[in-house]
Amino acid sequence: MDFHFLLDPAGFSLSEGWLAVGLKSPYWTVLLAGLLNTLKVALPALLLATVLGTLIGLGRRSDHPLIRLVADSYVGLFRNIPLLILLLAVYFLIIQGLPVASQAWSFHGWIYLSKSGLAIPDLWSGQWPRQGYFSVEGGWVLSPEYCAVLLALVLYTAAFIAEVVRAGVQSVPRGLVQAGLALGFGRLQLNRLVVLPVALRAIVPALGNQYLNLLKNASLGVAVGYPELVSVSNTAMNQSGQVIQCVVLILIIYALLSILASALMGRWNRAVNRGSA
């Protein structure tokens, strides 16, 4: 199997990404840019989904009926919607529901939200977004495609993480909870100092599966035109005609990403369970 085509000029560029590529960039550079775009959306989604899922999972164990109802409804809704349908719904909601750039929603003049995407200050280079007639210029602009993939991954994965957190919290021995209450801990103190540290031993292994699913689900960005690895590889197949080679590369890259993620989660799991026997 010949992979020498990776050194040939790709003949196409990407609309966005951390790595700038042009028409003369070789295929390997363009594929690397697609991989970076995958990580660009997957890593923030992982963090946000963990935070949201943890809050919802704790909300399902709340004593307040309204909080418990909202949390239960969230999980019941997003666990039963296919991710692809959710992604398309979010994307078309952004395209149809947001104003054009000339009428972009502004938050204190430093964040703009419109059909052009989400524009935020680029603190690294010191550039701030400016509202134009056709687009918002300057700063760091997150495209509508990126925002749709990010939001869909967060909403979908958070529902499953919430179930993992709820089950982990439920596995904590009731005696520990009663001991914390006897010491005068409030609800927040009890969750932070007693419940979550113990529940992590049950949460982390199952959480690793959700992280792996999120990483692989990022490939659905191809459905809305976000230039992640699979989308870029599809274009590379059409341009080069090297279909088998491109598919093999996708398989190898996702396998390596999964192995790396599993190794990191395994290390976290050992750290959490160290000393417990």
- What is the mean pLDDT of the segment spanning 51-71? 91
Predicted confidence band of residue 109 (pLDDT cuts 50, 70, 90): confident
Residue 36: per-residue pLDDT: 94
Q: What are the distances in angstroms from CA 229 to CA 64, 169, 189, 221, 222?
A: 44, 36, 43, 9, 9
Q: How far apart are CA 170 and CA 188, in angstroms?
A: 16
- Joined tokens for residue 83: 């991710």
Residue 276: per-residue pLDDT: 54
- Percent of the chain exceeding pLDDT 90 equals 47
Axis-axis angle for helices 27-59, 196-217 (nearest 10) = 140
Task: Say if residues 15 and 226 touch (Cβ distance below 8 Å).
Answer: no
The chain-wide mean pLDDT, for the chain, equals: 87
- CB neighbours of 256 closer than 8 A, spacing ≥ 6? none
E strand or H helix that includes residue 117: strand 117-120
Q: In the beta sheet, which residues pair with residue 122?
A: 127
- Percent of the chain exceeding pLDDT 70 equals 97
E strand or H helix that includes residue 140: strand 140-142
pLDDT per residue as tens digits for the range 170-188: 888 888 877 877 877 877 7
Q: What are the distances in angstroms from CA 87 to CA 79, 106, 272?
A: 13, 25, 34
- Backbone phi, psi, residue 212, to 5°: -65, -40
Q: How far apart are CA 27 and CA 29, in angstroms?
A: 5
- Backbone phi, psi, residue 117, to 5°: 120, -165
What fold, for 4-80+152-273? MetI-like fold (1.10.3720)
Q: How far apart are CA 227 and CA 16, in angstroms?
A: 7
**Which pTM was predicted?**
0.89
β-strand pairing of 130-131 with 136-137 = antiparallel
- For residue 133, count other CB atoms closer than 10 A to its CB: 7
Residue 138: per-residue pLDDT: 73
Residue 264: per-residue pLDDT: 92
- Joined tokens for residue 188: 């927040």
Sign of CA dihedral 84, 88, 93, 94: positive
Residue 106: per-residue pLDDT: 82
Predicted confidence band of residue 277 (pLDDT cuts 50, 70, 90): very low
Task: Say if residues 115 and 97 touch (Cβ distance below 8 Å).
Answer: no
The DSSP call for residue 195 is: I
Residue 42: per-residue pLDDT: 95
Which residue's entry shows tokens 């529940």?
199
65 versus 194: the higher-pLDDT residue is 65
pLDDT per residue as tens digits for the range 191-245: 777 788 888 888 888 898 999 999 999 999 999 989 999 999 999 998 888 899 9
- Joined tokens for residue 55: 């809050």
Predicted confidence band of residue 40 (pLDDT cuts 50, 70, 90): very high
Burial of 223-253, coded b for 16+ CB within 10 Å and e otherwise, reads: bbebbbbbbbbebbbebbebeebbeebbeeb
